[in-house]
């Protein structure tokens, strides 16, 4: 049956019209189960704002990568 073939394949192995809803379903399941980064303790926020060059590009040492 068609549904058996869809169920046994990953979302990225399917055509976009079928894989998109499957990806949406997988994301919702992960959110329901609260599977996300739980860094403990949370990283401290930077006390200074990022320099202009770091806002529009990446720094070589990885500083200011999280601009949230």
Best CA proximity match to 50, nearest among 38, 65, 64, 33: 64
Q: What is the pTM of this model?
A: 0.43
Residue 14: which residues within 8 A CB-CB, separation 6 or more? Answer: 6, 22
What does the pLDDT read at residue 39?
65
Q: How far is C-alpha 56 from the geometric centre of its chain's CA atoms? A: 21
What does the pLDDT read at residue 16?
92
Residue 55: which residues within 8 A CB-CB, separation 6 or more? Answer: 64, 67
What does the pLDDT read at residue 26?
87
Tens-binned pLDDT, residue by residue, of the chain (68 aa): 566 667 788 888 989 998 998 899 888 888 888 766 666 676 677 677 778 887 888 888 878 776 66
């Amino acid at each position: 049956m068609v549904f058996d073939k869809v169920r046994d394949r990953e979302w990225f192995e399917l055509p976009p019209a079928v894989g998109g809803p499957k990806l949406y379903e997988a994301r919702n399941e992960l959110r329901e189960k609260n599977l996300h980064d739980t860094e403990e303790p949370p990283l401290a926020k930077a006390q200074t704002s990022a320099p202009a060059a770091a806002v529009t590009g990446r720094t070589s040492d990885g500083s200011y990568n999280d601009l949230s």
